[in-house]
Amino acid sequence: MTTTAHDIQAEAHDHGHSHAEHHGPRGILNWLTTTDHKIIGLSYTITSVIMLVIGGALAEVIRGQLANPDGHLVTMAQYNQLFTMHGSIMIYLFAGPFAFGALANIIVPIQIGAPDMAFPRLNALSYWLYLTGAITMLLGFFVTGGAANFGWVGYAPLSDAIYSPGAGADLWIGGLMLTGFSAIFTGVNICATVFYLRAPGMTLFRMPIFTWNLLVVSILILLAFPVLTAGLIMLYSDRHLGTHIYTVVGGGSPVLWQHIFWFWGHPEVYILALPFFGMVTEIIPVFSKKPVFGYKGMVFATLTIAALSLGVWAHHMFTTGVVLLPFFSIMSLLIAVPTGIKIFNWIGSMWRGQIWFSAAMLFSIGFVVTFLIGGLTGIYLASPPLDFFTHDTYFIVAHFHSVVMALVLGGMAGLYYWGPKITGYMLNERIGKVQFWLLFIGTQVFTIPQYILGLQGMPRRMAIYPNDPQWQDLNTWSSVGAIMIGISTLLFVINIVVSWKKHPAGDNPWDGHTLEWFTTSPPPHHNFFRLPQIRSERPTWDHNHPDAKALAHGKDAH
Amino acid sequence: MRVEAKILLWLGLFFGIMCAVYWTWSMENAGGVMMFFGTGLCLLPGSYYYWWSRRMGPRAEDDPNATQESGAGYVDAFPGSSIFPFTLGMGAFCIVLAMVFGSWMLIPGLALVIWAALGGIAEGRRGGTR
Ligand code: HEM
Ligand SMILES: [Cu+2]
């Protein structure tokens, strides 16, 4: 077996065009007309991080209001808009697009040795639909009546034209339609890229786990998002065209909206989570100087999570009294098994490794710990008697914030890990570590009081609460945690400014395993000048360490 | 190609069983219908890929012993740049805003969409941009 790199020009794929330099429009026109997945991915990254900052700013106002039992920072009506738009921005405009549009767009084609996404123009369209969808939703703040205020789940009948008149609600629906189509197109694109543009020798079972997870996420997107879009069209039609699909008055059913919403909504939480699972699965082995522990188990766990996630949606509807409790409870509990396999394998990947506690690695470990807390409390919620007790309390808020803050930690890990590849320059490690500790400790200080508050019965989505000294203390602690999280996000922005074009990264600063570390930083137009021979899931490592190859992977490889 | 097909088929099979159990047990139609179509959404492309995989040999990317040379050559034409995704996106934006701010916004919206459609097709005929 030979590991010499063979000269295959990525440009050879692009017939008639044989220069590494790409001659296209420059400046703003370049941004508007680009079909390069790396530039599109970077636009996605920047836009979604801006959304994180906007959503975070709203959250700080919410926590400011709740720092006192009868806060007067905002009115009750404004509070409703605040939590609705905070949730909507974070889930629809930050977490989703960041998960499958940002780093995924840049990294997936490179990890499988592809010159671009399969449908570059469609990829550009995805970004424009995402950007315009985000603008549409945010426009709500500037119309009379203000932004949507019925919670990010838009439950009927609260979201109908009688209870929520005004343009804000319609802008919310319109924005979701645009971002929904954007997601669907990204799903199509990633599936096609992974199915058709892999490099020679890159069999499915040699793909990096990050790419695997994005393939599965794309399949989930294709299954889930059309349902949401259909549901939104029906909601709009109820509001303006006189239908009664979700209203009892005309013979419709409000619970139908919940079924439709959560049939999208629970797969969505895995659409959000799996890409971050993938990121830390790339990072932990690299910084432990070991191959990933249990590669096939990881793939199997991802597929099982996806398969089960389509059959658990009504665990969000236990208290409606009209869903099949045992079915949804059993299915939800089963998801803990593949998730447990993943946690086990992450620990296995670190076990006895030479661990390098870089910022990316710290964020990854923080992800595992925080996600474990969120996952364990999820198991409690999957049991109907416990859910009856905690539904619509701060316990729920704490549960999903453990989960989603874990995703923020994972996302930061990804940015510190791949940032040098994308920009060509390192991020400052020391600021990164301070940022990590603030974010990690802040997250726990923020959520743990909420778990306790929830168990004591504090309802969610309330602008004021009874003047009980213990509740006040717990809420103040939670607000302190929120401020720590806010500062850590600012540190990230500062880090970008401080390390702007300071320390060139080189092609492979972390001694990475996968193909993106084989090409230059940033990669050339169409990604590769040459590719190594691919014989395992770690082609770059094999090439750089001929004496310590990963065991050949896949049937009769030699 | 065969492994790709099998993933979709296995997922479809799992969803199918889940759908059957759920629908008969709960008699709740909304979820049953959605699961049913979810099953179809896996089985349909899955069987298409499977059908194809039986009609073609393994590709270089399916072959664990493939060398880089075996994949050299023409893969596809990738556009260097194109304005039409942007035009189409802005058209969709205007159409959605028409739902809120009045149907006059359909005029710029549809104009942009039609321009993007015609321009995009013409660009494709020319073999893409460089
Ligand atoms: C072991 C896995 C998990 C289980 C068993 C689980 C279970 C649950 C249950 C039963 C609820 C509903 C509680 C209620 O409203 O009364 C819930 C809420 C929630 N979960 Fe999870 N969960 C898991 C993982 C996740 C993940 C991975 C995410 C996100 C990436 C997530 C995000 C959420 C969100 C956003 C809500 C709140 C929805 C709302 O506003 O009502 N969960 N979870
Ligand atoms: Cu759920």
CATH at A395: 1.20.210.10
Instruction: Give me the mean pLDDT over the B41-60 stretch.
Output: 91
- Residue whose CA lies nearest to ligand 1 atom number 28: A269
Contact indicator for A393, A460 with CB cutoff of 8 Å = yes
Structural domain total, chain A: 1
Instruction: Give me the mean pLDDT over the B45-72 stretch.
Output: 86
Asked if the model's pLDDT at residue A10 lies above 60, the reply is no
- Residue whose CA lies nearest to ligand 1 atom number 41: A316
pLDDT tens figures, A33-77: 999 999 999 999 999 999 999 999 999 999 999 988 988 999 999
Asked if the model's pLDDT at residue A8 lies above 50, the reply is no
Tell which residue, B28, B51, B71, has the closest CA to residue A113: B71
Asked if the model's pLDDT at residue A3 lies above 50, the reply is no
Task: Return the DSSP state at A101.
Answer: I
User: Does some domain include residue A426?
Assistant: yes
Name residues with Cβ closer than 5 Å to ligand 2, which is an ion: A 266
Contact indicator for A90, A98 with CB cutoff of 8 Å = no
User: Does some domain include residue A5?
Assistant: no
Q: Is the CB of A86 under 6 A from ligand 1?
A: no
Stretch among A4-18, A229-243, A303-317 having the lowest mean pLDDT: A4-18
Q: Is the CB of A382 under 6 A from ligand 1?
A: yes
> Mutating which of A9, A11, A14, A143 best tests the B interface, going by the most B Cβ atoms within 10 A?
A14
Q: Is the CB of A403 under 6 A from ligand 1?
A: yes
Rounded CA gap, A98 and A276, in Å? 10
Residue B57: band (very low, low, confident or very high) from pLDDT cuts 50, 70, 90: confident
Chain A from 476 to 495: CB within 8 A of any B CB: none
Residue A376, token pair as written in the block: 């364990």
Tell which residue, A193, A223, A229, has the closest CA to residue A211: A193
Asked if the model's pLDDT at residue A233 lies above 50, the reply is yes
Q: Is the CB of A90 under 6 A from ligand 1?
A: no
For residue B81, the cross-strand partners are A34
Closest by Cβ to B83, choosing from A13, A32, A311: A32
- Residue whose CA lies nearest to ligand 1 atom number 8: A378
Q: Is the CB of A526 under 6 A from ligand 1?
A: no
User: Does some domain include residue A17?
Assistant: no
Asked if the model's pLDDT at residue A12 lies above 70, the reply is no
**Per-residue confidence (pLDDT) for residue B73, from 0 to 100:** 67
- Which chain B residues are within 8 Å of A201, Cβ to Cβ? 60-61, 63-68
- Which chain A residues are within 8 Å of B15, Cβ to Cβ? 307, 310-311
pLDDT tens figures, A442-476: 999 999 999 999 999 999 999 999 988 899 999 99
**Per-residue confidence (pLDDT) for residue B56, from 0 to 100:** 85
Asked if the model's pLDDT at residue A185 lies above 70, the reply is yes
**Per-residue confidence (pLDDT) for residue A465, from 0 to 100:** 92
How crowded is residue B87: how many other Cβ atoms within 10 Å of its Cβ?
A: 22
User: Does some domain include residue A407?
Assistant: yes
Stretch among A174-178, A306-310, A544-548, B15-19 having the lowest mean pLDDT: A544-548
Rounded CA gap, A210 and A106, in Å? 12
Residue B61, token pair as written in the block: 């990317």
User: Does some domain include residue A16?
Assistant: no
Rounded CA gap, B112 and B106, in Å? 10
- Residue whose CA lies nearest to ligand 1 atom number 7: A378
Residue A289, token pair as written in the block: 């100087």
Instruction: Give me the mean pLDDT over the A320-329 stretch.
Output: 95
**Per-residue confidence (pLDDT) for residue A25, from 0 to 100:** 72
CA distance A337 to chain B (A): 17
Ligand nearest to the CA of A90: 1
> Mutating which of A125, A238, A270, A309 best tests the B interface, going by the most B Cβ atoms within 10 A?
A125
- Hey, are the CB atoms on B42 and A174 less than 8 Å from each other? no
Please report where in the chains the tokens 């595992």 appear, as a residue. Answer: A368
Sign, Cα dihedral of A412, A418, A424, A425: positive
pLDDT tens figures, A374-417: 999 999 999 999 999 999 999 999 999 999 999 999 999 999 99
> Mean pLDDT of all residues in chain A?
91
pLDDT tens figures, A423-434: 999 999 999 999
Q: Cα angle at B104 between B98 and B107, to 5 degrees? A: 95
- Hey, are the CB atoms on A132 and B96 less than 8 Å from each other? yes
- State the distance from the centre of ligand 2 to the C-alpha of B17, rounded, in angstroms: 20
Task: Give the structural domain span for A456.
Answer: 44-544
Contact indicator for A254, A248 with CB cutoff of 8 Å = yes
**Per-residue confidence (pLDDT) for residue A553, from 0 to 100:** 46
- Hey, are the CB atoms on A33 and B82 less than 8 Å from each other? yes
Stretch among A423-432, A528-537, A546-555 having the lowest mean pLDDT: A546-555
- State the distance from the centre of ligand 1 to the C-alpha of A374, rounded, in angstroms: 9
- CB of A323 within 8 Å of a chain B CB? The answer is yes
| Contacts of A132 by beta carbon, 8 Å cutoff, 6+ apart | A178, B89, B90, B92, B93, B96
Pocket test for ligand 1, best of A91, A269, A330 (most atoms within 8 A of CB): A269
Q: Is the CB of A269 under 6 A from ligand 1?
A: yes
Asked if the model's pLDDT at residue A80 lies above 70, the reply is yes
Distances (CA, A) of A163 to A148, A149, A155, A363: 11, 10, 11, 43
User: Does some domain include residue A37?
Assistant: no
Asked if the model's pLDDT at residue A212 lies above 50, the reply is yes
User: Does some domain include residue A171?
Assistant: yes
DSSP string, A215-278: HHHHHHHHHHHHHHHHHHHHHHHHHHS---SS-TTTT--HHHHHHHHHHHHHHHHHHHHHHHHH
Asked if the model's pLDDT at residue A490 lies above 60, the reply is yes
Stretch among A1-10, A196-205, A489-498 having the lowest mean pLDDT: A1-10
| Contacts of B111 by beta carbon, 8 Å cutoff, 6+ apart | B91
- Which chain B residues are within 8 Å of A183, Cβ to Cβ? none
Residue B125: band (very low, low, confident or very high) from pLDDT cuts 50, 70, 90: confident
Q: Is the CB of A325 under 6 A from ligand 1?
A: no
- State the distance from the centre of ligand 2 to the C-alpha of A400, rounded, in angstroms: 10
Instruction: Give me the mean pLDDT over the A528-547 stretch.
Output: 89
Asked if the model's pLDDT at residue A14 lies above 50, the reply is no
Helix (H) or strand (E) holding B96: helix B84-101
Contact indicator for A92, A66 with CB cutoff of 8 Å = no
Asked if the model's pLDDT at residue A536 lies above 60, the reply is yes
Asked if the model's pLDDT at residue B87 lies above 60, the reply is yes
Asked if the model's pLDDT at residue A2 lies above 90, the reply is no
* Pairs of CB atoms within 8 A across A/B: 206
Phi-psi region for residue B127, left (φ > 0), alpha (ψ -120 to 50) or beta? left
Distances (CA, A) of A270 to A154, A221, A277, A365: 20, 10, 10, 20
Residue B78: band (very low, low, confident or very high) from pLDDT cuts 50, 70, 90: confident
Rounded CA gap, A163 and B100, in Å? 17
Name the packing angle between helices A469-498 and A37-66 (round to 10°).
150
Contact indicator for A59, A113 with CB cutoff of 8 Å = no
Q: Which residue of B has its CA nearest to A537?
A: B64
User: Does some domain include residue A151?
Assistant: yes
For residue A34, the cross-strand partners are B81
pLDDT tens figures, A251-296: 899 999 999 999 999 999 999 999 999 999 999 999 999 999 999 9
